Chains A and B, each alone.
Chain A
Amino acid sequence: MPVITLNKERFSRFVGKQLSVDEMEKWLPWIGVHIDEKGPDYVKIEVNPNRVDLCSHAGVARAFKGLMGWETGIPEYKIKHGKTVLRIDKSVSNIRPYMLAAVVRNVKLDEDAVAELMEIQEDLHWGIGRDRKKASIGVHNLATVNAPFTFKAVAPNAVRFVPLDKSEEMTPQEVLEKHEKGVAYKHLVDWAPKYPLLVDRDEKVLSMPPIINGELTRVDRNTRSLFLDVTGTDYNAVKQSLNTLVTTLADMGAKIESVTVRYPDHTEQSPNLSPQQMSLHLDHANAMLGLHLSENEAVKCLKKCRLDAKKSGKNMLDVMIPAYRIDVLHEVDLVEELAIGYGYYRMKPTLPVTITVGEEHKAGKLARYVEQILIGLGFTEVMNFTLTNEDTHYVKMQKKPGSPARLANPVSSEYTILRAALLPGLMQNLMDNRHESFPQKLFEVSDVILINPNMKSCCERRLHVAGVVSYPNANFTEIKSIVEALLTNMGLKKWRIKAIKDSSYLEGRVASVSLGKEQIGILGEIHPQVLNNFTLENPVAAFEVDLEGLVGKS
């Protein structure tokens, strides 16, 4: 999520009132940002990803003034009709079909503003542009180039220009191969036979969207006029990015001038900052929030959120939403605006009148009973992750590798598969607790994940219980008594214990537990090689029982 550091003085200038850090800390959260940190002269805030319009001092100040009631309603943005023309060549229509632009004059950028402009760009790239795929932004010093501009696709080595932060000329091909931004973003264009390029009247290169700008149009403190371009694959994302950027610059004091954008098949004026219109059913909103706001009160609340609203009928409001608010998808989003404008802090908590009778899940209930029995037998519970690795799960247990559910993108070699049994985890626990006093009696009642093509997710979650006993005299007889005590107290009868072979256990000291025809468990003395593998010095007797089939039955 974007993090913005709001400088107290700078923020106060935008708000138009001298604020203290404490006041900022107290009131900012009510517009829906999170306070990350407070310093002597700054407040660091975290902005929710749907509110890229709050990614600058100007943007936060705009919302803040509204909430405090100092400046409410929709902010008005005047666009002067400009003469700049941008031509979109049809050669880009299969690569990056959309471009919108704006001219911004009377810009006064101090160093903070230049830095902030860069940050907003990055936040927009992330929040709307999906890492430049759907939309990417170019900010240019207008004084260095001449309109009309053309957005077109060129052959990989047809042109040479100096990319930003470099001193030598490169072809688009070379940019993708050598420039760090080229390497990072080449997947967005390198599949196309030609690469998109923005040039001026004299074929001077402004930028190679969405990779890098040219050094030629670099913006600095002395820049007074900007040419903004946004290109992309999604028209809405392109429009939203441009509108957010333009309105922020306007709030910083700049004048907006329109650009005529000529597509092969149509022409439009850019930017288009006309507000979005939506109806709000106030009775429905009141019912959701548990409030009883009149139309007038509701209009006041919405205006505090920098929207405009007027009554259009009984319990009906017409709401105007500024162009920078890209997060309003549905009427329900206005319900939230209403609540924010009203103030969450003013809403008194109530309890629902709904009467229901609660019940625990049968699996949770069985797990609880099994826990109770094993604790009565002197066992201590452990809780392991379902994520594990093949070394612990198979190799150390002296088992042939199985086919467990496997992660496509593990974050470490420790967690690569999902466990199909609990016992390996318990062995690991014994290993980690070698230095503690004995006897050690551990158990776990938890889930394992087995492959099952009959399930929708092709995997099945099964409740298991496993236990280990470790001390110099741990043996088969003891663990058998424990398992039988467990089964008896679970209310089971007529289970069968039968000698089997299992490579994790000592031959002749391992048995299966069956109910009817189904084998549900295993018990025995752990093989000394397995003990060596886990560097254990004491014998271990162990058991594991699949409880899933018993859920709801005992």
Chain B
Amino acid sequence: MPDLRENEQKTLLTLQKLGGKANTDQIVQQSGLAHAAVMRAALTLTEKKLVKINEKPQIAVTLNSEGKLHAEKGLPERRLIDILVKFGNQMPVEKAVAEARLEQSFIPIALGWLRKKDWATFAGKEKLLTVKGEPPQGADEKLLQLLKAKGETLLETLDKPLQDAVDMLKKRKLVETREKTIRELELTEVGWQTVKKGIAIVEEISQLTPELIITGKWKTAKLRKFDVTAPGPTVYPGKLHPMRAIIQRAREIFLEMGFTEIRGPIVETAFWNFDALFQPQDHPAREMADTFYLSYPKLGKLPAKSIVEKVAKTHENGWTTGSKGWGYRWSAEEARKLVLRTHTTSETIQFLSKHQKPPVKVFSVDRVYRNEKVDYKHLAEFHHIEGIVMDKHVTLRDLMGTLKTFYRKFGLTKIQFWPSYFPYTEPSVQATVYAPKLKAWIELCGMGMFRPEVLAPMGIKYPVLAWGGGLERLAMLELEADDIRVLYKNSLSWIRRKPVCL
């Protein structure tokens, strides 16, 4: 005997009880199983060749809302007859209608059918209504009661007079019919043999409980086998924001390469953001159109006078750096203005001013700001990655190699270096990397060696390699986003959808 599950056993036994052939509704009614359970059992029993499924087109009959009303109260003509019989078989029409409390719209219907069914006669000016006696229940009335009791009924299951009544009530617009495929289960020969041998139903258990485990009842209990392919509800794990995952990856790469993380102020004096980096005070990048200035608090404090003086002189005439300087009068007031840092280099240079002993290898992945109108390519607030190497004998080629290693760890293996310009580096280089996903070269960062005008006032004696740039471009590539704003929209469906493994 094939191994049968509880629901399969019950279905087989029910089918046997119903004579080996029955539709699913009948089995549901008889067995007490859920409809879905019977359907699943039917499928697996078919696979085991114990049952076959016959699909038959059928016509199902149901009451419509008016039909339900009449099934409840009686047909209008019956309600009128009942009154007449009660009042001695004869009454004027108007009075009978009033006594029967017949709804206005049903009056012509009731009178019409009284005549059609030949239950009463009309006579005289008063339209005196006379009945011969109480007429027996008609097939139409029987059908109404049947449908009221059973709900949807198959046409095939009705006898001839009732089937004729369906036609009649359909014309009276009290019942509706529709086509329906009925699945009928039928025991196969093997199925008959199986049930004849006898099936002892063993109760199946769906949830393994502590009680079953502790008492050892699990040994005799039959655990239901699940349909492992059935879909379950979706659950969402807690997770990092996808952008954070990219930031963490960038940090890990720096750490793997032996860099130490630094963290500095977000609100910064223009001194550290611009002046210390040899950006003249009338430089276009310092204008309000590019940089966020604060109205409160408005001014910060400058560092030690010794540093400030050197920076001022370097701007004005090059000081002792060997530079010509910018040739203008430097203003301390301008340098005290507070800005939202436009790059993380504001922190790098401060760090270097306090750590002059080589080697220094530091990095940051942190917030920066630009006074920019937000669109699909630009944000007012985003992340910069920045790496710095200061040592006795580092070279521009070393910078190229460091960058190449960094991006290779991000899976970007092709990189090119171009001449470029940044106010605080010389030589300056622009790096482009090949993005296989876009099949295009894209600019990811700028780099260079700090100018003497930057290093000397801070007392830094060795070459400094620096590279940096926005991280969002890389994130967009990794996260397949065409619009930079998506990264910070915090749409839960987007975060839930993005895999943790990038």
Contact = CB atoms under 8 A, between A and B. Distances in A.
A134 B255 CA distance: 47
A326 to B, nearest CB: 10
Interface in A311-335: 329-333, 335
Interface in A328-360: 329-333, 335-336, 339-340, 344-345, 347-360
B367 interface: yes
Given A336-B426, A351-B402, A374-B238, A330 B491 contact: no
A34 B463 CA distance: 27
Contacts of A457: 265, 267-269, 297, 300-301, 338
B295 interface: yes
B261 A32 contact: no
Contacts of B380: 385, 387, 411, 415
Contact of B402 (A50, A287, A352, A407): A352
B418 A30 contact: yes
Interface string A365-380: 0001001001111111
Interface string A264-308: 000000000000000000000001111100000000000000000
A352 B266 contact: no
B488 A383 contact: yes
Contact of A333 (B261, B265, B426): B426
A433 B323 contact: no
Contacts of A359: 255, 260-261
Interface stretch (A103-111, A185-193, A203-211, A447-455): A447-455
Contacts of A352: 389, 391, 394-395, 398, 401-402, 465
A457 B266 CA distance: 9
B243 interface: yes
B429 interface: yes
B397 A349 contact: yes
A82 interface: no
A133 B281 CA distance: 14
A171 interface: no
B194 interface: no
Contact of B303 (A29, A381, A456): A456
Contacts of A38: none
A330 B322 contact: yes
Given A288-B395, A364-B261, A378 B238 contact: yes
Given A340-B419, A376-B238, A409 B293 contact: yes
A332 to B, nearest CB: 5
A429 B490 CA distance: 7
B373 A381 contact: no
B369 A290 contact: no
A359 B256 CA distance: 9
Contacts of A371: 240, 244
Contacts of A134: 282
B369 A350 contact: no
Interface residues of B, number: 100
Nearest to A377: B238
A332 B429 CA distance: 14
B32 interface: no
A2 to B, nearest CB: 12
Contacts of B292: 407-410
B359 interface: yes
Contacts of A333: 426
Interface in A384-412: 384-387, 403, 405-412
A350 B398 contact: yes
Interface string B339-363: 0100000000000000000110100
Contacts of A459: 265-267, 294, 297, 338
B421 A407 contact: no
Interface in B258-308: 258-263, 265-269, 282, 284, 288, 292-301, 303
A158 interface: no
Nearest to B489: A432
B89 interface: no
A330, A339, A340, A432: residue with the most chain B Cβ atoms closer than 10 Å:
A330
Contact of A30 (B269, B282, B419): B419
Contacts of A30: 418-419
A539 interface: no
A354 B418 CA distance: 25
Contact of A441 (B238, B373, B419, B489): B238
B260, B263, B403: residue with the most chain A Cβ atoms closer than 10 Å:
B263
Interface stretch (B23-31, B49-57, B168-176, B448-456): B448-456
Contacts of A368: 248
B413 interface: no
B489 A347 contact: no
Given A358-B254, A415-B380, A375 B453 contact: no
Interface stretch (B197-205, B217-225, B324-332): B324-332
A232 B419 CA distance: 32
B266, B397, B419: residue with the most chain A Cβ atoms closer than 10 Å:
B419
A368 B372 CA distance: 30
Contact of B418 (A50, A344, A377): A344
A279 to B, nearest CB: 10
Contacts of B396: 288-290, 339, 347
Given A48-B421, A360-B261, A364-B251, A329 B323 contact: yes
Interface stretch (B33-41, B73-81, B183-191, B492-500): B492-500
A461 B265 contact: yes
Interface string A438-469: 00111000010101010111111100000000
Contacts of B340: 407, 418
B20 interface: no
Contact of B421 (A49, A130, A375, A451): A49
A31 B430 CA distance: 12
Interface in A503-524: none
A382 B241 contact: yes
Interface string A101-134: 0000000000000000000000000100010011
B87 interface: no
A386 B367 CA distance: 9
Interface in B408-459: 416-421, 426-430, 449, 451-453
Given A329-B324, A354-B389, A289 B488 contact: no
A32 B251 contact: no
B236 interface: yes
B239 interface: yes
Given A405-B294, A408-B298, A358 B258 contact: yes
A455 B266 CA distance: 12
Contacts of B269: 456-457
A143 B92 CA distance: 123
A363 interface: yes
Contact of A335 (B248, B323, B371, B427): B427
A347 B399 CA distance: 11
Contacts of A451: 297
A436 B492 contact: yes
Contacts of A236: 327
A445 to B, nearest CB: 9
A336 B427 contact: yes
B381 interface: yes
Query: Which 6 interchain pairs have the tightest Cβ spacing?
Result: A290-B395, A290-B397, A48-B421, A32-B419, A349-B401, A336-B427
Interface of B: 236-241, 243-244, 248, 251, 254-263, 265-269, 282, 284, 288, 292-301, 303, 318, 321-325, 327-328, 338, 340, 358-359, 361, 367, 369, 371-374, 380-381, 389, 391, 393-398, 400-405, 416-421, 426-430, 449, 451-453, 463, 465, 487-493, 495-496
10 contacts: A30-B419, A354-B394, A371-B244, A375-B237, A383-B487, A385-B380, A387-B380, A429-B492, A432-B490, A455-B300
Interface of A: 29-32, 34, 48-51, 126, 130, 133-134, 234, 236, 287-291, 329-333, 335-336, 339-340, 344-345, 347-361, 363-364, 368, 371, 374-387, 403, 405-412, 415, 418, 429, 432-433, 436-437, 440-442, 447, 449, 451, 453, 455-461
